[in-house]
Amino acid sequence: MSKINLNDPQRPDLVPSGAFSYPVTAPNPTRWFGFLLLPEFTLLAFSAALDPLRIANQLAQKPLYGWIVLSEDGNAVSSSSGVDVGVHGMLRDLNTNTYLFACSGNNGTKVASEAVLANLRHHARFGGKVGGICTGAATLARAGLIGDKHFTLHWENQPGFSEAFPDLAPTKRRFEADGDLLTCGGGAAATEMMIALIAQDYGDDFAVAVSDMCLNGTDLAPHREQRSSIAKAINSRNPKVLDVLRAMYENIEEPLLLEDLASRAGISRRQMERQFKQLLDEAPAQTYRNIRLDRARSLLMETDLSVMQVAIACGFTSSVLFSRHFKARYGETPYGHRGRASMKNTSSDS
């Protein structure tokens, strides 16, 4: 197959018509992006990154941006929602003047084949730039393309990533722009990342117009964290409870005693238990255990760690106790959960 022609700004899908316009009098040459769809990629994150480019072209009525969608073999790719998305071509046909985003979802640390990793390295070696959407940074890490730059990926997959790449530390921000490396946690963060990029190219006013069309906010900076604050999550601004919750999240592998949690927050254990019951309708010990079980479930999906290794990483010294609590919370044992995930992955590969 010949190289995909990226120098065709007349492609009919690039400049759709619309009721609202925002003239750009001195456009730059069309800037091209490639989206590599990996099996079970997150459809929301992919479309949230692509559509701001389409909207920018629509507002300007000029091909400010171009895009191509790629897969390893040129065939359609099934998203995590089961929707198949067609592509323009094969990854190996990519030109080096195209900025390439790796798009993936769960199992981001495993889903790219060795051939895909080799193509990514080849692209970067010859001057191509790369980024990651949702868990795309995991593929870039496997290819050795992260280096010492700041990057991020979806918060749900960060624990598994950290187990697979202990020397790489993703940030908790919604998106990161460190030199040529662009990464985001997916969803709305993908839109925010692209709007920030559009602001660099054509100024804040034009970027805000694009953001308005996306029904997005006007904050163009990447400083916000992916997850809402714990205070919003529990609809409370009780500083003592928040201190305890933060300490729980920060001490998973070696859990703290309830007395130590209370002492850190400057309250007694009895006060802590009473406030947890009022705000969360559960005991702090149950909250802490559920936080650790949620982390364990993520590690079972995202890593090859054994069940016992996962148990230890989440502060359970007994696999029997871990299995009992896991089944009580999720309705299946960690062994059953791991087996079901493996069967799903095997079915996807066949």
**Same domain as 197, residue 146:** yes
129 with 183: CB under 8 angstroms? Answer: no
118 domain residue, yes or no: yes
56 domain residue, yes or no: yes
DSSP classification of residue 186: S
89 domain residue, yes or no: yes
* Beta-bridge partners for 101: 35, 131
- pLDDT score, position 337: 77
Tokens 């089961």 found at: 82
Alpha carbon distance 281, 109 (integer Å):
36
Q: Is the pTM of this model over 0.85?
A: no
Mean pLDDT over all residues of the chain?
A: 89
**Same domain as 50, residue 90:** yes
Mean per-residue pLDDT, 208-223 = 75
- pLDDT score, position 268: 96
**Residues spanned by the domain of 107:** 31-213
Which of 213, 240, 266 terminates a domain? The answer is: 213
Judge whether residue 348 has pLDDT over 50: no
Mean per-residue pLDDT, 205-229 = 74
Alpha carbon distance 229, 24 (integer Å):
38
**Same domain as 167, residue 37:** yes
CATH of the domain at 118: 3.40.50.880
Alpha carbon distance 306, 311 (integer Å):
9
pLDDT digits (tens, 9 = 90+) for 59-115: 999 999 999 999 999 999 999 999 999 999 999 989 999 999 999 998 888 999 999
**Same domain as 154, residue 186:** yes
Q: What's the domain count of the chain?
A: 2
**Same domain as 154, residue 42:** yes
What are the φ and ψ backbone dihedral angles of 131, each rounded to 5 degrees?
-150, 180
106 domain residue, yes or no: yes
Judge whether residue 249 has pLDDT over 70: yes
What are the φ and ψ backbone dihedral angles of 89, each rounded to 5 degrees?
180, -170
pLDDT digits (tens, 9 = 90+) for 162-203: 999 999 999 989 999 999 999 999 999 999 999 999 999 999
Which of 184, 213, 242 terminates a domain? The answer is: 213
Cα separations (Å) of 96 from 99, 113, 151? 8, 20, 22
